[in-house]
A and B are shown apart, each in its own frame.
Chain A
Amino acid sequence: MLAARMVDGDTPLDRAMARFATGEDAALAEVYDLGSPAVFTFLQRLCRDKPLAEDLTQETFLHIHRARGLYRPGAPVLPWAYTIARRLFLDSVRSRRSEVQEGHASDAERLSPHDVVGESRSAEDLLADAELTQAVDDALAQIPEAQASAFRLLKGEGLSIAEVAAVMGTSKGAVKLRAHRAYVALRGLLGKRVERNGP
């Protein structure tokens, strides 16, 4: 499944959150089901550690749960969730820096059996996607976190520049610059990989 393009307050996730915020407790599971794949994928690519990504996803949605009375109806939920997730990730890096540096998930772990992928795709397509994702993830791990996050949120998660600026707490110009730097770095790193592997 592709990440849904976020339109202000008009996605099923935003509507579920609006119901939860007005007191419908049962909508929390729907909020989690609709929002956790995007947040979990984002976190997994950031920290490259599946159990940690699951823990941080849980913390992200627990935070949203606790703050439900603060939710402004109509606000897009995913940029909010990404901001919380990124903050939790950075906190976890600070407190467990050495663990995170050594905690790269294995190749098998990175492609979860719970992938939300259309069943009609061929095994070759899946393999090619997985290899490309792996190569991009490896390359993104080598560049500064701020650049990698800007690139992931813009190109990977499909957020607008304004939304990424909100998530990262920076200006729109800085987001463009970071994404451009990430793009240039990726082109260099992936280019080297192509040269090494041959055409």
Chain B
Amino acid sequence: MSILERPSANARDRFLQAAASQTASRPRAWLLRILLAGFGALAWLVAMLLVLGIRPDWNDLPMPGLATTIVTLLAAALLASVIGLARGRSMVGNTTEALSIVAGVTPILLLLLVTVVDARGPSTLANLAPMPHAWPCGLLVVLVALPLLGIGRFVLRGLVLSRPGLAGACLGLAAATWAHLLLRVHCPIGGPGHAVLGHLLPLLPLMALGAWAARRR
């Protein structure tokens, strides 16, 4: 334990004067932010779903595969959102361990999901060359995810995070996974190649962008 020194009385007066001239955030600002962000993200996803529409082969898809895909994507998106947006025990974001595990393990689990579970019905478009159709889907994932990443950044505004890069990467992962979920509901193209290249791979640039944006805050 160290011997503590106090700042001077002048410094105290200067601080109180400066604080009086600044606006403190309102009590319960965090709760308000979370509610606004949740509502905004949900509204954006619903609006995009209405614009893009549900895939035409939806009713033909086998229920177990579809449910596994939807539930896993939903769980991954929720987990990455909660871990990335948490204030943490000490108000400095989640622990390095939690952020690293989510940012490192979730993409691998999602890769396993899209390569192993391939829900397709008789009217699903299959056996297409992956690359030409992956580009539009990849671009769509990024376009849907970017506003979600902005919403995550808005929630963390004003917090000093001990690992901003990792927290930002988790937010990028969350945004990409929400967008991936939306694309799964919209895109009628089957096959693991398309799912990996068009739906999953965009999470890498989005994680990098999230990390970069969070470090620049």
Contacts and interface: CB of A to CB of B under 8 A. Distances in A.
Interface of A: 1-3, 8, 21-23, 25, 28-29, 32-33, 36-38, 40-41, 44-45, 53-54, 57-58, 61-63, 65-72, 75-77, 79-80, 83-84, 87, 112, 114-117, 129, 133, 152, 156-158, 162-163, 165-172
24 contacts: A25-B24, A28-B19, A29-B16, A33-B12, A36-B7, A37-B5, A37-B7, A58-B7, A58-B15, A62-B19, A65-B22, A68-B25, A70-B158, A72-B30, A75-B90, A76-B90, A83-B162, A112-B5, A114-B6, A117-B3, A133-B3, A156-B2, A162-B95, A166-B92
Contacts of A1: 3-4
A1 B32 CA distance: 40
B25 A166 contact: no
A18 B210 CA distance: 31
- Residue among B4, B6, B27, B33 having the largest count of chain A Cβ atoms under 10 Å: B4
A32 B159 CA distance: 19
B14 interface: yes
Contacts of B89: 8, 75-76, 166
A84 B92 CA distance: 9
Contact of B3 (A71, A129, A169, A171): A129
A69 B30 contact: yes
Contact of A166 (B12, B29, B33, B162): B162
B96 interface: yes
A124 to B, nearest CB: 15
B25 A67 contact: yes
Main secondary structure of the interface of A (DSSP, over half): helix
A169 B92 contact: yes
A75 B158 CA distance: 16
A64 to B, nearest CB: 9
Contact of B160 (A54, A83, A163, A168): A83
A21 to B, nearest CB: 6
Contacts, number: 164
B1 interface: yes
Contacts of A28: 16, 19
Nearest to B163: A169
B18 A58 contact: yes
A32 B19 CA distance: 11
- Residue among B5, B11, B25 having the largest count of chain A Cβ atoms under 10 Å: B5
**Closest 9 A/B residue pairs (Cβ):** A69-B29, A169-B162, A69-B25, A37-B4, A79-B90, A80-B91, A156-B2, A2-B1, A114-B6
B162 A168 contact: yes
B2 A157 contact: yes
B216 interface: no
A44 B6 CA distance: 10
Contacts of B14: 58
Contacts of A57: 7, 11, 15
B40 interface: no
- Residue among A41, A65, A170 having the largest count of chain B Cβ atoms under 10 Å: A65
Given A75-B87, A79-B92, A167-B92, A70 B29 contact: yes
B12 A84 contact: no
Contact of B4 (A29, A79, A116, A168): A116
A88 to B, nearest CB: 9
A54 B14 CA distance: 10
